């Protein structure tokens, strides 16, 4: 029996982006950024019936949280020099 193939939509690109952002944040131990990256991946799932303006608002919110969740550059330099 042939099953219809699932279409590869933009949702999967955003899920991969969210996972990548979470992994990048994990390298610095930025917990808030890890959570924001995973949240982006979760709300991107195509089976979720969460569409339209609400999804866009949450994408924007999580991207802003992601950007501001990292430590200051001087702190990052100290972490990198210590290891």
Note the pLDDT tens digit of each residue in 61-73: 999 999 999 888 8
User: In the predicted model, is pLDDT for residue 38 greater than 70?
Assistant: yes
Query: What is the sign of the dihedral through the CA atoms of 75, 76, 77 and 80?
Result: positive
> Rounded to whole angstroms, how far apart are CA atoms 17 and 27?
16
Q: Where are the domains of the chain?
A: 10-82
Note the pLDDT tens digit of each residue in 6-19: 677 888 899 999 99
**What's the CA dihedral at 31, 34, 36, 40 to 10 degrees?**
-170
Going by pLDDT thresholds of 50, 70 and 90, the confidence category of residue 23 is: very high
Angle value at C-alpha 12, between 65 and 66, nearest 5 degrees: 10
Q: Which two tokens stand for residue 65?
A: 């949280």
| Whole-model pTM over 0.85 | no
pLDDT value of residue 20: 96
Per the CB < 8 A criterion, the answer to whether 34 and 73 are in contact is: no
**What are the two backbone dihedrals, phi and then psi, of residue 15, each rounded to the nearest 5 degrees?**
-65, -45
């Amino acid at each position: 029996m042939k099953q219809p193939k699932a279409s590869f939509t933009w949702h999967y690109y955003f899920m991969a982006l969210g996972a990548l952002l979470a992994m990048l944040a994990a390298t610095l131990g930025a917990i808030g950024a890890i959570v924001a990256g995973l949240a982006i991946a979760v709300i991107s799932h195509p089976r979720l019936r969460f569409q339209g303006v609400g999804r866009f608002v949450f994408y924007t919110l999580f991207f802003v949280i992601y950007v501001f969740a990292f430590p200051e550059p001087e702190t990052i330099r100290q972490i990198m020099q210590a290891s």
